[in-house]
Amino acid sequence: MRLLSLFAITASTLPIAVYAAEPHSYAQPDQVQITHLDLDLTIDFPQQQLDGQATLKLNWKNPKAPSLVLDTRDLKIASIESVSADGKTAPLKYALASRDKQLGSKLTIATPTHPSQVRIVYTTVPEASGLQWLTPSQTADKKLPFMFSQSESIHARSWVPLQDSPAIRFTYTAHVTAPKDVRVAMSAINDAHHPLDGKFDFDQPHPIPSYLLAIAAGDLAVKETGPRSAVYAEPSVVGKAAHEFEDTEKMIATAEALYGPYRWGRYDILVLPPSFPYGGMENPNMTFATPTVLVGDKSLVSLVSHELAHSWSGNLVTAASWRDIWLNEGVTTYVQGRITEALYGKGLADEESLLSARALEKDIGAMPANAQKLAPDPRGVGADDSLSAVAYDKGSWFLRTLEQRFGRDTFDTYLKSYFNHFAFQSITTEQMLAYMKPNLIEKYPGKMSWSEVQDWVYGTGIPKDAPLPDSPHFDAIDKERSAFLGDTLTADKLDAKGWNTQEWMYFLDRLPDVAPLPKIKELDAAWHLTGTPNAEIGMRWYTHAIDSGDKDVWSAAAEHMTRIGRLYLTLPLYKAFAKTPDGLAYAEQVYAKAKAGYHPLTQQAVESIFASAKTADK
* Annotated active-site residue in 267, 392, 414, 506: 392
List the strands of the sheet with 67-72, edge to edge.
Answer: 67-72, 105-110, 94-96
Phi-psi category of 298—alpha, beta or left, where left has phi over 0 and alpha has psi -120 to 50?
A: left
User: Whose CA is closest to 166, among 314, 379, 344, 385?
Assistant: 314
User: Whose CA is closest to 292, among 276, 270, 269?
Assistant: 276
* Distance in angstroms (rounded) separating the CA atoms of residues 182 and 217: 6
* Distance in angstroms (rounded) separating the CA atoms of residues 401 and 406: 9
Question: Is 307 a residue of the active site?
Answer: yes
Q: How many helices (H) and strands (E) does the chain have?
A: 18, 21
User: Whose CA is closest to 37, among 282, 178, 209?
Assistant: 209
Which residues does residue 169 pair with via DSSP β-bridges, in sequence order?
209
* Annotated active-site residue in 282, 307, 452, 536: 307
For residue 244, what is the DSSP state?
H
- Number of Cβ atoms within 10 Å of the Cβ of 454: 13
* Distance in angstroms (rounded) separating the CA atoms of residues 450 and 594: 51
- Answer yes or no: are the C-beta atoms of 438 and 7 closer than 8 Å: no
Question: Is 392 a residue of the active site?
Answer: yes
- Answer yes or no: are the C-beta atoms of 316 and 419 closer than 8 Å: yes
User: Whose CA is closest to 602, among 129, 41, 58?
Assistant: 129
Query: Torsion angle of alpha carbons 51, 57, 60, 61, nearest 10°?
Result: -100
Residues 6 or more apart from 398 whose CB is under 8 A from it?
A: 330, 374, 456, 457
Catalytic residues: 307, 392
